[in-house]
Amino acid sequence: HLKSELVINPILLCSTHFLPFGDYLKSLWVGPPPLGFAAEQECMSADVIKKAFQATEEGFLSLVSNQFQTTPQLATVGSCCLVCVISDGTLYVANAGDSRAVLGQFFKSTPALGDVHATQLSAEHNASIESVRRELHALHPDHPDIVLLKHNVWRVKGIIQVSRSIGDVYLKRSEFNREPLYAKFRLRAPFSRPLLSAEPSITVHALQPHDQFIICASDGLWEHMSNQEAVEIVHTHPRNGIAKRLVKMALKEAAKKREMRYSDLKKIDRGVRRHFHDDITVIVVFFDTSLVVSRARGPAVSVRGAGVNLPHNSLAPCTTAGAS
């Protein structure tokens, strides 16, 4: 089997409002599948990660198929999925949706870059991005309404902002876009090929001494701060609880935009608060490059997810801090 010291268990970030779906994804990723695929090839690779995404998608599709008649709304459940894997000194970043992974780099010998530099490693799949809209039109020439501008927001079929996700099978398989699914989710025109994709964009990065940490966060964070602002916050504050600090600063900015106090925003019920800000989940991983390259246990992890609790050993062999 694949030697355990070669691979740090995947850092998995999913954005979903349906808790059983989150539990399902976690059961697949924090366990055998990714490492199982790696064991088949005796190494980690972009192909291994693609297979893991595909297996996750197919597994959830099977779940929907089995329960569609009794729980049709399950077909409308989906999640963005951002995965980071460190193997043998190489960082793999895979993304489906609009979550984002940003690398914090510190160049001591080049002051012109400033103290810390932000490098985005993930590609995003959101219809608000012009290149994504072009891609969708190219993939679906028979659907002139594949992207629509509704309430000043670009959406696939006027429904969903992301063009790639795990789940959302009502926009991938026509048999799940019919009764007993609620009418508001059913499309008027039939479709023969998936309108959304679960295939991730993957970046492979060889870790260098100047690579200090990586921030993995859902789009709720990036709506309120830039990549550079985020890495500067991490670089200039204590590691312990740093993910929680990022969430708090994003919430403060959201409150400011709504001309309200942060303390008042915190009092709003979670279901209602969705109207004030998007969900925010943040994971920060600090690198000890020498330890990673030497295949030893190294990075410390600070985890903060709005309403998400992670067991202490869920990211083993990493350590966790700031989880609640």
How many residues would you count in the chain?
324
Q: What is the pLDDT of residues 114-161, one digit of tens each?
A: 589 999 999 999 999 999 999 999 999 999 999 999 999 999 999 999
**Angle of CA points 138, 141, 145, to nearest 5°:** 105
pLDDT at site 246 = 96
Do residues 47 and 11 make contact, with C-beta atoms less than 8 angstroms apart? Answer: no
For residue 102, give every residue at least 6 positions away whose Cβ sits within 8 Å of its Cβ, in sequence order, or none: 118, 119, 120, 121, 214, 215, 217, 227, 230, 231
Q: Return the closest-CA partner of residue 29 out of 11, 42, 16, 48.
A: 11
Instruction: Catalogue all structural domains in the chain, each as residue range(s) with its CATH number.
Output: 4-126+162-321 (3.60.40.10)
pLDDT at site 112 = 56
Mean pLDDT check: name the lowest of 19-23, 186-190, 198-202, 298-302. Answer: 298-302
DSSP at 257 = H
Do residues 222 and 277 make contact, with C-beta atoms less than 8 angstroms apart? Answer: no
Q: Return the closest-CA partner of residue 229 out of 114, 121, 127, 321.
A: 114
First to last CA, the chain: 34
pTM of the model: 0.81
Q: What is the pLDDT of residues 99-112, one digit of tens each?
A: 999 999 998 765 55
pLDDT at site 288 = 80
CA distance 140 to 194: 9
Q: What is the pLDDT of residues 313-322, one digit of tens each?
A: 333 333 232 2
